[in-house]
Structure 1
Amino acid sequence: MTSDTLTHPDKLRDQPAAPKLPLTSLLALTMVSFVVILTEVLPAGLLPQLAASLDSSQSVMGQLISIYALGSVLAAIPLAAATQGVGRRTLLLTSLAGFVIANTITALSTSLALIFVARFLGGVAAGLAWAMLVGYAARMVAPQHKGRAIAIAMAGTPLALTVGIPLGTYVGNLVGWRIAFGALSALAALLMLWIVLRLPALRAIPGQQRQSVAQVFALPGVRTVLAVLLLYVVTHNLLYTYIAPLVTLAGLAPRVDFLLALFGGAALLSLLLVGTLVDRWLRQLVMASTGLFLVACVMLALWPGVQAVVYVAIAIWGLAFGGAATLFVTSLSNASGPGQDVAQSMMTTVWNLAIFAGSVVGGMLLGHFGAGSFAWAATATLCLTLLIIWRSRAQFYWRGAASRAPGQSG
């Protein structure tokens, strides 16, 4: 196994690179990420209905999201390592079948215990899907289009958060939460048909190129990217989870819905920009994303009570965060080569742990120091994040595919 093979996942492409992006196939992957995220967070918009229907409390119903995340954390790495010899399309269809089963059980069951089991199964399916989604997108295109392909595949995440959740909540309130989950199950089933008809059946990873979790973790850059990801996502979730008490400092508690919409709009704009530029300006975009996030946190730390500053800071934060997942996923793909499916499963685990850590740290800060401490803690964490990126900025994994093409400089 050569170092060139290890650091260039395009060596595994199963067909000649097409001159144009295979949009129909990539949009199928967009819908996969949409289904994964919507399945995870839909209960958040339907907590009162779930609690009333299942004779439980909203706090217990909130654990439907936690059990889903737990399934992803526990399953992502072992499943990714164990299924390297399975055809990629077969594996993706298996994952979607898991969503069909999990959401159908959720829609039909009157047993809270069975629904929790179904949610855990959905989390396992999500861990499997996230582990292979990026590699699938990268292997369908020429190397110079890898970042853009990944951005398209990941676009389902912000779409689910900005469109899917409000729509799912509306449907749940209009005709009942069971119909909402049933519709999500039907969407996953239709997506399976789309994948069978339009997605290329990429071969399994050849035996001589399969790598263990330890081998992938030891690859140059993998630990650095995962460390940056952990710090960045912990910081984001520290602020996002407790955005209500944070903006209350400026008297904006009644405007939380508008601030979240502002954040979401800026994030969508960011995703579009990153998808266009990532293949040439990956390193610069990673530094810009972290730098903008730091600027937003400094603004919130210095002027937490000024409403105009809070509005601008939230918009800058959304602009910084919207394309971050694409940037870190692309960098990790560069670092891990043929081991990218295993590496992405590590990213899934780290991301979910960061969500948990951000909420815990935020709760501790709120209890001991108040909401005014959030932005200062975020500023300190992002300074460390930016330092790690700056010190490793010359490494190959921070460089866009187009900038590494022959005859072009980074």
Structure 2
Amino acid sequence: MPASPTSTIVPKDPTSTSRLPIAALILMALTGFIVIMTETLPAGLLPQIADAYSTTEGVAGQLVTVYALGTIVAAIPAIALTRGTDRKRLLLIGLLGFLVANTITALASTLALALVARFVAGAFSGLLWGMLAGYSRRIVSPEHAGRALAIAMTGTPLALSIGTPIGSWLGTVIGWRWSFAVISALTVIVTLLVLAIVPNASGQRPETQRALVRVLVIPGVWAILVVVFTWMLAHNLVYTYIAPYLAGAGAILRPDAALFIFGLAALLGIWLTGVFIDNSLRRLALVSTATFILAGVILILLPTSVPATVTAIALWGIGFGGASTQLQTAMGNAAGSSGDVANAMLTTAFNIAIFGGGALGAVLVDSLGATTLPIAMVLLSGIALVTISANRHRAFPR
């Protein structure tokens, strides 16, 4: 039986500590909160944005598309070029990039300028997501690496369940530009606190830096990327088209209520992940993907039942809540000192799955009906479950 991954593979930084630096990890979580808020906010403000620029909601929706495109294009090159840079400096650069991009978005007089700003924000998103996982794991002792990452990743479910709805509400009350201005103000506060509180971690030494192709062939990396794509594609299919699914299934449940339930359940999922990840990563990943399958089966068998739908959404949220932490931990363990580059690849695969969810979901909804989405969710989650189960030595070791 191989040794515990977190005790042998996580690079130890001289600044790491045996105690969890809670304040620093919370600031990393707030960084993730800012990133996800920036990414998802336009989706809840499309009517106001379209009206401001005298265009259609479909065209205004490209503010979301170009953000994801920026992440896909920039994530791997940005991390590859900055491997030797101190992590704290890189974190501050990323936050300042978001400050500039969101401020320009709030002030943009034309849609073209707003689109450019969103692309830039997406590029800085790729930079931050590529380095946050490794950074949070390196400022603690190896036996607490998984728990530290779980805390640092809480910003994602918080943004989805609380931040984006509040930002959308604020945009309808005082104007969509003010929603982006508020994110900029929060970024200023977080940047100053990071400067004062978060410990530094050194960049990767030149002699330990692998070429990108060599990172891809590290045992376990490809398997994790397959799990990322299939699992997150299963998620995005249903998440993106939750409104037409609920309408087509006949369940009397509003989309905003469904997403609120999902967000709360995701918080529970990430808490459970934080408790068990340092000792039971493989079991967590197996249970989480199996939970997706169970949720999909319930939606297939009992589509009109509100209690069943709520139960399925809660299970789905619990399974999703810890997914990012589990996958990034697995990738960090497998890639070792090349974890930042490998996690940039993970970020790219994640965003390709977002694109794929939108494209494949549109085909399914328009051609076969939204009620087929849970079937695709079950099939894709099944591929992820089988891949995790089969890769018991490197990607998801016992």
TM-score, normalized by length of structure 2? 0.95
Indicate conservation of the 8 Å contact 1:51/1:61, yes or no. Answer: yes
Residue equivalent to 1:337 = 336
- Aligned: 1:51 with 2:50: yes
1:254 deviates by 5.0
1:303 deviates by 2.5
1:104 deviates by 1.0
Distance 2:85 2:49 in 1: 37
1:6 deviates by 12
Q: Report the secondary structure of 2:61's partner residue.
A: helix
Residue equivalent to 2:28 = 29
1:328 deviates by 0.7
1:115 deviates by 1.1
Q: Report the secondary structure of 2:11's partner residue.
A: helix
Distance 1:61 1:9 in 2: 45
Q: Deviations over 1:11-54 (max 9, x none)?
A: 34122x42320011111101110111111111112112111222
Q: Which moved more, 1:316-325 or 1:344-353?
A: 316-325
Indicate conservation of the 8 Å contact 2:250/2:303, yes or no. Answer: no
Spell out the pairing of 1:79-90 with structure 2 (5 A cutoff): 79-90=78-89
Q: Classify 1:63/1:352 alpha carbon distance in 2 versus 1 (closer, same or farther; 3 Å).
A: same
Distance 2:372 2:275 in 1: 36
1:243 deviates by 1.5
Q: Report the secondary structure of 2:370's partner residue.
A: coil
Q: Report the secondary structure of 2:10's partner residue.
A: helix
Give the letter for the 1:49 counterpart.
Q
Indicate conservation of the 8 Å contact 1:99/1:125, yes or no. Answer: yes
Q: Classify 1:52/1:380 alpha carbon distance in 2 versus 1 (closer, same or farther; 3 Å).
A: same
Tell me the C-alpha RMSD between the 2 structures.
1.8
- Aligned: 1:395 with 2:396: no
Indicate conservation of the 8 Å contact 2:251/2:303, yes or no. Answer: no
Q: Classify 1:10/1:391 alpha carbon distance in 2 versus 1 (closer, same or farther; 3 Å).
A: closer
Give the letter for the 2:223 counterpart.
T
Residue equivalent to 1:303 = 302
Gaps of 5+ in 1: 400-409
- Aligned: 1:110 with 2:124: no
Q: Report the secondary structure of 1:372's partner residue.
A: helix
Q: Report the secondary structure of 1:18's partner residue.
A: coil
Spell out the pairing of 1:305-320 with structure 2 (5 A cutoff): 305-320=304-319
Spell out the pairing of 1:350-361 with structure 2 (5 A cutoff): 350-361=349-360
1:85 deviates by 1.5
Q: Classify 1:142/1:12 alpha carbon distance in 2 versus 1 (closer, same or farther; 3 Å).
A: closer
Indicate conservation of the 8 Å contact 2:38/2:183, yes or no. Answer: yes
Spell out the pairing of 1:198-213 with structure 2 (5 A cutoff): 198-213=197-212
Query: What is the percent sequence identity of the aligned residues?
Result: 41
Residue equivalent to 2:10 = 10
Residue equivalent to 2:167 = 168
Spell out the pairing of 1:54-203 with structure 2 (5 A cutoff): 54-203=53-202
Residue equivalent to 1:402 = none
Give the letter for the 1:398 counterpart.
F
Indicate conservation of the 8 Å contact 2:292/2:377, yes or no. Answer: no
Gaps of 5+ in 2: none
Q: Deviations over 1:222-245 (max 9, x none)?
A: 000110111000011111112122
Spell out the pairing of 1:366-385 with structure 2 (5 A cutoff): 366-385=365-384
Q: Which moved more, 1:173-182 or 1:208-217?
A: 173-182
Q: Which moved more, 1:252-261 or 1:382-391?
A: 252-261
1:286 deviates by 0.5
Q: Deviations over 1:83-107 (max 9, x none)?
A: 1111111111111111111011111
Residue equivalent to 2:286 = 287
Indicate conservation of the 8 Å contact 1:250/1:307, yes or no. Answer: no
1:110 deviates by 0.8
Residue equivalent to 1:215 = 214
1:10 deviates by 3.3
Q: Classify 1:7/1:229 alpha carbon distance in 2 versus 1 (closer, same or farther; 3 Å).
A: farther
Q: Classify 1:177/1:217 alpha carbon distance in 2 versus 1 (closer, same or farther; 3 Å).
A: same
Distance 2:241 2:167 in 1: 23
Distance 1:105 1:199 in 2: 27
Distance 1:396 1:379 in 2: 25
Q: Deviations over 1:137-191 (max 9, x none)?
A: 0100111111111111111011111111122122222222222211211211221
Distance 2:29 2:131 in 1: 13
Indicate conservation of the 8 Å contact 2:261/2:314, yes or no. Answer: yes
Indicate conservation of the 8 Å contact 1:335/1:397, yes or no. Answer: yes
1:253 deviates by 5.3
Q: Deviations over 1:340-361 (max 9, x none)?
A: 1101110111001001111211
1:302 deviates by 2.3
Give the letter for the 1:395 counterpart.
H
Indicate conservation of the 8 Å contact 1:7/1:334, yes or no. Answer: no
Indicate conservation of the 8 Å contact 2:12/2:142, yes or no. Answer: no
Residue equivalent to 1:264 = 263
Q: Report the secondary structure of 2:36's partner residue.
A: helix
Indicate conservation of the 8 Å contact 1:5/1:338, yes or no. Answer: no
Indicate conservation of the 8 Å contact 1:6/1:337, yes or no. Answer: no
Q: Deviations over 1:246-277 (max 9, x none)?
A: 22244235522222211111111111111111
TM-score, normalized by length of structure 1? 0.92
Give the letter for the 2:65 counterpart.
S
